[in-house]
Amino acid sequence: SQQGEEDPQALSIQEGENATMNCSYKTSINNLQWYRQNSGRGLVHLILIRSNEREKHSGRLRVTLDTSKKSSSLLITASRAADTASYFCATAAGGGSNYKLTFGKGTLLTVNP
Amino acid sequence: DVKVTQSSRYLVKRTGEKVFLECVQDMDHENMFWYRQDPGLGLRLIYFSYDVKMKEKGDIPEGYSVSREKKERFSLILESASTNQTSMYLCASSFYRSGLGTGEQYFGPGTRLTVT
C-alpha cells in the first residue's frame, strides 16, 4: 500500500531556480525520508527527518515536516542540471512492523540549463 | 561507503524459467529488502528480511520467494518467471534502531529483468 504521495508528479524549472516538492502521508510515522533516483539507476538517500523534528538542512536541501498535517516538503535551492532526477518520499511507520519504508510514486524534476 | 551490489544489471529470461537475483551488502545491516519498480506504480515491496533466515512478505509477494542464509546476502527467486514479472528489481539494506525506526536504505543499481 502506498502511504507517501508526492506532489507535483512532474516539475520543470530553469537552472538557478528553486524546486519544491511535497509529500503527504496517512498514518503516524517514526521518520520520513527523501530519496533521489537518476534515470535507470538505484535510489540514493538524501535526508531523514524524525517525527519530532520540524526542519532539517543538508547542503542545498531543506526538508520540513508537519506531523499535524501529515505532510513534508523538499526544497532544492539554486537548482542545477545535475539535479534532474525523480524524487521520492518514504515513510517509516510508527508502532509494530517498522522495519520497512513505504515509498510514494515520486516527482520527476527536470532542470533545464 | 556502503555498497550494495546486485548480480546483474540486465537479464533476459524465458517464461517458466526459474530466476535468481542476488544482492550483497557490505555494511553488516540487519535489514534487507527487495522491491520492484514499474512506471506509474512506484516502488513496491516484495519481501524483506530483518535477520538471517528471517523473512516477511511485503505488499506483492505472489510469484516470488527469498532466501537469506548469510547476513550479507539476500536472494530473490522467481519460481516460474512470467511476462508480468518484467520489471526493474531493486535491492536495499538498512540498519534498525529502536526509537528511530528503520534508518536510511542503501540501494543497489537495480536489475532490469525482461521475461519473454
Delineate the domains of chain A, giving CATH numbers in brackets.
Answer: 5-112 (2.60.40.10)
Question: Above pLDDT 70, what percent of chain A?
Answer: 92
B104 pLDDT above the threshold of 90: no
Residue B52 included in any domain: yes
Give the residue with greater pLDDT, A75 vs B29: A75
* Residues 6+ away with beta carbon under 8 Å from A110: A10, A11, A12, A13, A84
Label each residue of B10-47 as H, E or C.
EEEECCCCCEEEEEEECCCCCEEEEEEEECCCEEEEEE
Provide the β-strand partners of residue B97: B101
Residues of chain B positioned with their CB less than 8 A from the CB of A10: none
pLDDT of residue B101: 63
Radius of gyration of chain A (CA): 13
Residues of chain B positioned with their CB less than 8 A from the CB of A108: none
Residue B102 included in any domain: no
With H, G, I as helix, E, B as strand and everything else as coil, classify residue A110: strand
pLDDT one-digit tens code per residue, A28-66 = 888 899 999 998 888 999 999 999 999 999 999 999 999
B45 pLDDT above the threshold of 90: yes
The number of folded domains in chain B is: 1
pLDDT of residue A41: 86
Rounded to a whole number, what is the distance in Å from the CA of A101 to chain B's nearest CA?
A: 7
pLDDT of residue A1: 45
A96 pLDDT above the threshold of 70: no
Contact A44, A82 (CB under 8 A): no
pLDDT one-digit tens code per residue, B53-97 = 899 999 999 999 999 999 999 999 999 999 999 999 999 998 876
pLDDT one-digit tens code per residue, B89-99 = 999 998 876 66
Residue B51 lies in domain: 4-8+15-96
pLDDT of residue A95: 58
* Residues 6+ away with beta carbon under 8 Å from B63: B78, B79, B80, B82, B85
A2, closest residue in chain B (CA to CA): B44
Contact residues, chain B to chain A, C-beta under 8 Å: 4, 31, 33, 35, 40-43, 45, 48, 50, 56, 58-59, 88, 90, 92, 96, 99-110, 112
Q: Nearest 5 degrees, angle CA A75-CA A77-CA A83?
A: 85
C-alpha cell at A15: 537552472
* Residues 6+ away with beta carbon under 8 Å from A68: none
Give the residue with greater pLDDT, A30 vs A108: A108
Question: Above pLDDT 90, what percent of chain B?
Answer: 78
Distances (CA, A) of A55 to A32, A87, B27: 11, 18, 28
Cα dihedral B42→A109→A74→A21 (10° resolution):
-80
**CATH number for position B81:** 2.60.40.10
Q: Parallel, antiparallel, or unpaired: how do β-strands A10-14 and A85-93 relate?
A: unpaired
